[in-house]
């Protein structure tokens, strides 16, 4: 009996390691494209960039069909090339890290989920339909890639009474007709076999082809069961409907076929690997990570296996660096909102796993970019061209997060010690997110590694509360806790000196990167909204006035800094700075204190560096825009105001008459030229009188301090003072 079992096990494992073609990934991709072009007259079209073109319903391109949405919905411009297309195929770069299709939190836990992947796709726009689509897919898999038919299962839409949709028997019969045994043709419901692009847009019933990595058995029960042995490889969608904003389904006048097959999984199947990370799309990357890390080599362990955490880190870093490289090449940079914010989250997760689990030195993540280019450059040559730029951006963003990461890890460690393995306080988890910029899912992961859990209900409450606060603040932009005339007089009577906010410009460049050092200060006064008070207690909102600060207060149309204070002797509690305002020479830091704070306390101030840098970049951009507008439209252009926050800039100006689209294009080009010239930004504090004499200096209708800080692009301010010419 035992021998029989062993023999059976050996046979199973031999079967599971079977590689049908062993084709390298580049050839798998080529075979797909050649098949559709040469055998079935499809036009090969390039992948669209990962930033969706004019489709606000999506953060990222999440499927090959996104760029064809206008054709599928019949809204395509009839004069465009696209309107003529009937059969196309391509390999599309896709990101599933937000919105309806989001795989971010599964990455690393298994071998098949990715934030970035390539989707091999074929389409018929009102040309062939179900039968040809199934026939082509079956032929490619079984005849060209050589996958044995008995390892394949197919699913079809079994109908949904609630939505009034009947079962897709036509597709079932097509598969039976193609010779697939009835026991392998399986009906599923809306969740598995009705594909939708997003909350709205093209959709329809689909039929999927699943592959059994084990073989030699009947595995129908494992289809769509979420295991690693039987996996979906190809999805054939029959686009028949449009999901409307009111959630109704509108039947389309023209039916289309939209198929998508993840390259990574297909390569896994063809190279006999259950985990995509064991294929040639990933192994060079895992090797490169190993060379830089102080961890042992990648061992492919998953779940609760010892050291699985290290292997998970390998997978996360390999996945995330591919996503970062592709997104940055396509112009999506880590940032403060929308897709940019998602990318920032991905980058921070990668930095954490690299630095803390794999113990790789700073700069390691960026150093992987050439390997990404080597593994993907065949399909996306822009990765070679853009490799340096991508690495610089990764490096710069890594730098912003590393110091917060160290602080956050210490905070977790100390808090866990204090709670002795009990529930992790939601307030501390929230502080990691709000004050140190940790993505919440990363906090969850880090706690999971320590076997502790956060009070989820309380954390959700804090998240909701914060969202509500932000919405309220947006609706009411009046500064809160602004010193009134009585409290200003009280401060003066008490001899409190004005705040020295010189340290707000105390940043410097280190290896081409801005560094914003922390600053130490003393609490000189506390303002509770009505009067000065000597002390505030937990939960109280107050204005904190210090002798000095590195925080930028709301002024000149630029929003205030964010960040936190730490009180000496209470290092694990972060006092989040919610707003910073200025009145009568005093800078007021608005804080809801998590613990006691008294006048005389010593604090350390840390500003959110990425937030500040985003504001700085946009501030410079307003000046560039002003210059470009005046160059193109003449000097009658007058700036009327501007508002800069971390995620957007608004520029108000007056000009005679509307701008033509040609003028807008010229302005756009001029701005791009200034940016590409990559000139230095010079600054100098100058007496107001002298600054006023600089020709071409642009000011707005505002009261400027004396001395005033003059900013110049390209030309040192001192040269402008030497009677320089109008440099506009
Ligand atoms: N749009 C379908 C998918 O993404 C088929 O391409 O799965």
- Identical topology for domains 20-271 and 622-721: no
Q: Is 209 in the pocket of ligand 1 (CB under 6 A)?
A: no
How far is the C-alpha of 173 from the C-alpha of 236, rounded, in Å?
Answer: 15
Atom number in ligand 1 closest to CA 63: 4
- Residue 121 Cα to ligand 1 midpoint, Å, equals 8
Give the integer Cα–Cα distance in Å for 445 and 323. Answer: 20
The average pLDDT across 289-300 equals: 96
Q: Is the CB of 124 under 6 A from ligand 1?
A: no
Residue 232 has pLDDT above 60, yes or no: yes
Q: Is 237 in the pocket of ligand 1 (CB under 6 A)?
A: yes
Identify which of 117, 191, 231, 258 to mutate to test ligand 1's pocket (most ligand atoms within 8 A of the CB). 258
What is the number of the ligand 1 atom nearest to the C-alpha of 236?
5
Q: By mean pLDDT, which of 19-23, 445-449, 674-678 is the weakest? A: 19-23
For residue 480, the model assigns a pLDDT of 65
Lowest mean pLDDT among 160-174, 531-545, 631-645: 631-645
Ligand 1 neighbourhood includes 117 CB (under 6 angstroms): no
Pairing of strands 586-592, 508-510: unpaired
Nearby residues of 336 by Cβ (< 8 Å), 6 or more positions away: 344, 610, 611, 614, 646, 647
**253: CB partners within 8 A, 6+ apart:** 74
Mean pLDDT of the chain: 88
160 CA → ligand 1 middle, Å: 20
Question: 6-15, 42-51, 503-512, 637-646: which range is least confident on average?
Answer: 6-15
**CATH topology (fold) of 622-721:** 3.30.980
Which residue's CA is minimally distant from atom 3 of ligand 1? Answer: 260
Please state the φ and ψ torsions of residue 416, each to the nearest 5 degrees. Answer: -65, -40
- Output 322 or 570, whichever has higher pLDDT: 322
Tell whether ligand 1 has an atom less than 6 A from the beta carbon of residue 63: yes
pLDDT at 9 over 50: no
Nearest ligand 1 atom to the CA of 65 is: 1
Our answer on whether the CB atom of 204 is closer than 6 Å to any ligand 1 atom is no
Q: Which of 22-31, 143-152, 717-726 has the lowest mean pLDDT?
A: 717-726
Per-residue confidence band for 18, with pLDDT thresholds at 50, 70 and 90: low
Give the least confident one: 135-139, 149-153, 208-212, 376-380: 376-380
- Provide the pLDDT for residue 476: 54
Smallest CA separation from ligand 1 atom 6, residue: 260
The verdict on the CB of residue 262 being under 6 Å from ligand 1 is no
d(CA 324, CA 315): 14
Q: Where are the beta strands (DSSP E) in 109-200?
A: 116-125, 152-157, 185-188, 194-196
Q: Running DSSP on this structure, what letter comes out for residue 361?
A: P
- For a mutational test of ligand 1's pocket, the pick from 119, 133, 207, i.e. the residue with the most ligand atoms closer than 8 A to its C-beta, is 119
Structure tokens at 181: 């045994």
Residue appearing with tokens 């007259």: 41
- Going from the Cα of 208 to the center of ligand 1, the distance in angstroms, rounded, reads 10
Q: Tell whether the model's pLDDT for residue 14 goes beyond 50.
A: no
Instruction: Give the CA radius of gyration of the chain.
Output: 30
- Which 3 state secondary structure label does DSSP give 208? strand
Q: What are the tens digits of pLDDT across the range 63-109?
A: 999 999 889 888 888 788 889 999 999 999 999 997 777 788 889 99
User: Is 644 in contact with 622 (CB distance < 8 Å)?
Assistant: yes
Q: Which of 712, 675, 672 is nearest to 691 (CA)?
A: 712
- 707 φ, ψ (degrees, to nearest 5): -70, 160
Q: Both tokens of residue 466? A: 């914060």
Tokens 């350390």 belong to residue? 604
H/E element holding 329? helix 308-329
Name the class of domain 20-271.
alpha beta
Would you place residue 5 in the very low, low, confident or very high pLDDT band (cuts 50, 70, 90)? very low
Which of 32, 58, 63, 238 to mutate for ligand 1's pocket (most ligand atoms within 8 Å of CB)?
Answer: 63
Q: Per-residue pLDDT averaged across 637-662, rounded?
A: 80
**pLDDT, tens digit (0-9, with 9 covering 90-100), for 301-315:** 998 887 899 999 999
**Does residue 121 line the site of ligand 1, with CB under 6 A?**
yes
Q: Which two tokens stand for residue 176?
A: 């039976």
| pLDDT greater than 90 at residue 298 | yes
Specify the pLDDT at position 475: 61
Ligand 1 centroid – CA 46 distance (Å): 17
Residue 322's pLDDT is what? 98
The structure's pTM equals: 0.75
SS3 assignment, position 450: coil
Going from N- to C-terminal start, the domains of the chain cover 20-271, 281-417, 421-469, 485-607, 622-721
Which is higher by pLDDT, 473 or 703? 473
| Neighbour tally for 225: CB within 10 Å | 10
For residue 121, give the ligand 1 atom closest to its CA.
6
H/E run at residue 402: helix 387-419
697 contacts: CB under 8 Å, gap ≥ 6? 691, 710, 720
Residue 140's pLDDT band (boundaries 50, 70, 90)?
very high
- Supply the angle between the helices 130-139 and 169-177 in degrees, to the nearest 10: 40
Instruction: Check whether 703 has a pLDDT greater than 90.
Output: no
How close is the Cα of 232 to the center of ligand 1, in Å?
12
Is any atom of ligand 1 closer than 6 Å to the C-beta of 235?
yes
Question: In this structure, are residues 256 and 71 in contact, taking their beta carbons and an 8 Å threshold?
Answer: yes
The Cα angle at residue 194 between residues 91 and 246, in degrees rounded to 5? 105
**65 Cβ below 6 A of ligand 1:** yes
What's the start-to-end Cα distance of the chain, in Å?
90
Per-residue pLDDT, 482: 78
The atom of ligand 1 lying closest to the CA of 197 is: 1
Ligand 1 pocket, residue 232 CB under 6 Å: no
Ligand 1 in reach of 195 Cβ (< 6 A): yes
Distance from residue 65's CA to the centre of ligand 1 (Å): 7
Fold of 485-607: Elongation Factor Tu (Ef-tu); domain 3 (2.40.30)
């Amino acid at each position: 009996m035992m021998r029989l079992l062993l023999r059976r096990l050996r046979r199973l494992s031999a079967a599971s390691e079977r590689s049908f073609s062993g084709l390298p990934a580049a050839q798998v991709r080529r075979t797909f494209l050649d098949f559709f072009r040469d055998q079935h007259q499809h036009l090969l079209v390039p992948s669209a960039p990962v930033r969706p073109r004019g489709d606000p319903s999506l953060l990222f391109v999440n499927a090959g069909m996104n760029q064809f949405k206008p054709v599928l919905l019949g809204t395509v411009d009839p004069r465009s090339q696209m309107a003529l297309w009937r059969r196309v195929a391509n390999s599309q770069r896709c990101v599933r890290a937000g919105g309806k299709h989001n795989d971010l939190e599964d990455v690393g836990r298994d071998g098949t989920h990715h934030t970035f992947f390539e989707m091999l796709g074929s389409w018929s726009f009102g040309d062939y339909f179900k039968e040809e689509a199934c026939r082509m897919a079956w032929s490619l898999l079984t005849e060209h890639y050589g996958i044995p038919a008995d390892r394949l299962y197919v699913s079809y839409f079994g109908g949904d009474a609630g939505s009034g949709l009947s079962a897709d028997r036509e597709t079932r019969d097509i598969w039976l007709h193609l010779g697939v045994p009835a026991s392998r043709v399986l009906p599923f419901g809306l969740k598995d076999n009705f594909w939708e692009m997003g909350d709205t847009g093209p959709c329809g019933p689909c039929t999927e082809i699943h592959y059994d990595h084990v073989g030699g058995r009947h595995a129908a029960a494992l289809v769509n069961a979420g295991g690693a042995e039987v996996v979906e490889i190809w999805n054939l969608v029959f686009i028949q409907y449009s999901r409307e904003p009111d959630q109704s389904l509108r039947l389309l006048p023209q039916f289309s076929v939209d198929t998508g097959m993840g390259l990574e999984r297909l390569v896994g199947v063809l190279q006999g690997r259950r985990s995509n990370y064991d294929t040639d799309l990933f192994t060079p990357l895992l090797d490169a990570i190993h060379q830089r890390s102080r961890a042992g080599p990648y061992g492919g362990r998953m779940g609760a296996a010892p050291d699985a955490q290290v292997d998970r880190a390998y997978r996360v870093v390999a996945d995330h660096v591919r996503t970062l490289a592709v997104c940055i090449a396509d112009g999506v940079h880590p940032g403060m909102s929308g897709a940019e914010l998602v990318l920032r989250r991905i980058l921070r997760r990668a930095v954490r796993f690299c630095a803390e689990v794999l113990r790789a030195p700073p700069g390691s993540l960026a150093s992987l970019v050439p390997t990404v280019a080597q593994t993907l450059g065949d399909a996306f040559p822009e990765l070679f061209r853009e490799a340096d730029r991508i690495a610089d951006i990764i490096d710069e963003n890594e730098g912003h997060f590393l110091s917060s990461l160290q602080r956050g890890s210490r905070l977790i460690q100390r808090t866990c010690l204090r709670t002795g393995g009990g529930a992790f306080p939601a307030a501390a988890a929230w502080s990691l997110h709000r004050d140190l910029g940790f993505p919440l899912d990363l906090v969850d992961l880090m706690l999971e590694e320590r076997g502790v859990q956060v009070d989820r209900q309380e954390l959700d409450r804090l998240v909701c509360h914060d969202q509500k606060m932000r919405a309220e603040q947006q609706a009411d932009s009046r500064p809160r806790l602004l010193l009134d005339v009585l409290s200003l007089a009280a401060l003066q009577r008490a001899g409190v000196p004005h705040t020295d906010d010189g340290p707000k410009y105390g940043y410097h460049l280190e290896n081409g990167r801005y560094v914003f050092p922390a600053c130490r200060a003393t609490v000189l006064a506390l303002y509770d909204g009505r009067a000065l008070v000597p002390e505030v207690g937990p939960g109280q909102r107050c204005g904190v006035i210090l002798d000095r600060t590195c925080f930028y207060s709301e002024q000149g149309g630029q929003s205030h800094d964010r960040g936190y204070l730490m009180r000496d002797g209470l290092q694990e509690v972060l006092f989040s700075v919610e707003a910073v305002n200025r009145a009568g020479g005093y800078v007021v830091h608005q804080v809801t204190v998590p613990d006691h704070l008294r006048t005389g306390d010593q604090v350390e101030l840390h500003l959110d560096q990425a937030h500040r840098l985003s504001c700085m970049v946009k501030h410079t951009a307003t000046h560039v825009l002003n210059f470009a507008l005046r160059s193109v439209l003449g000097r009658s252009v007058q700036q009327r105001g501007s508002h800069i926050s971390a995620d957007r800039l608004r520029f108000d100006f007056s000009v005679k008459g509307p701008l033509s689209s040609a003028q807008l294009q010229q302005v756009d080009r001029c701005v791009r030229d200034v940016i590409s010239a990559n000139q230095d930004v010079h600054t100098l504090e100058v007496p107001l009188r002298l600054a006023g004499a600089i020709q071409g200096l642009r000011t707005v209708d505002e009261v400027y301090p004396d001395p005033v800080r003059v900013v110049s692009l390209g030309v040192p301010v001192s040269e402008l003072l030497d009677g320089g010419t109008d440099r506009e």
